[in-house]
Amino acid sequence: MSQKRDNCIILLVDPPEADKISPDLKTAFGPERAVQVNSELLSAAYKLAKGFRDSMVILSYQKTTRHPDLIWLDPEDPGFLEAKTHTAVDRIQDAFRLAFFTGTKKAVLISHLSPELKSDWLAQAFAAVSDKTIAIGPAQDGSFYLLGLTQQTLKLLEAPGFSHDKSAETLAERARKNKLTVFSTPDTYAINSEETLLKWTESKNAFPPIFQQIQQAVLQGQQESKRHHRRHGHGHRQEAQVQPPPEKPPV
């Protein structure tokens, strides 16, 4: 039980409403579909965090009138740290501070946008984190999907700029300047386009309904395109066969 109290997983949760979803997701998928995609990704990340035995979980959530609690994410209503600000930077800092205030020794922030995160990677991060080592999970777009700190290394988040492009590199450089070691979990992709979304769905044996629809639509489009090309080519061949032979000149 003590080890569970010593470790904490932090997850930022957005309500399933279009105006609360990341602008990048809305640009990639459109407002309505972005809500569905974001909710499925959050559900997967929450399931991973909840199922990790050796850790408590802090959910940072900005409730709304339509979604005042997290029953939409978990029928058991897990409770949450209410976010008083819209900015991801402040929410991250507040969640880490709460984790350490409650006695946590190691806290690991995870991003739901990188669904390939595994329990083994979480375990490796917790094992590596200390007052002299931070853990970073680099995403292929330059962001990070995992960040592990102690109260002593939380000072790395005091300066702005750690949540923008190349944030994984920015944090790694800050750590090294502070004479800290950086432990990296495997790099993976972040869901920010149709390509990365399909990459995730194709790696799964069982897809959530929304992703089944997406994949089926793509495959159906590919099949229709192939049938169109076959019909187009076959029609030309038939046309060549039915043309009458040229008449012989009169003798």
Q: Where are the domains of the chain?
A: 2-191, 204-238
Task: State yes or no: pLDDT of 124 exceeds 70.
Answer: yes
**186 contact partners, CB below 8 Å, separation of at least 6:** 121, 137
| CA neighbor of 148 nearest in space, from 158, 136, 132, 166 | 136
**What would the CATH number be for the domain defined by 2-191?**
3.90.550.10
For 12-26, 83-97, 217-231, which range has the lowest pLDDT when averaged over its residues? 217-231
Q: What is the pLDDT of residues 190-248, one digit of tens each?
A: 999 999 999 998 877 544 455 455 555 555 655 665 565 555 554 444 444 444 555 54
pLDDT of residue 72: 95
Are the CB atoms for 196 and 113 separated by under 8 Å?
A: no
Confidence at residue 192, expressed as pLDDT on a 0 to 100 scale:
92
Residue 29 has pLDDT above 90, yes or no: yes
The answer to whether residue 25 scores a pLDDT higher than 80 is: yes
Q: Pick from 140, 142, 150, 191: which is nearest to 171 by CA?
A: 142
154 band by pLDDT with thresholds 50, 70 and 90: very high
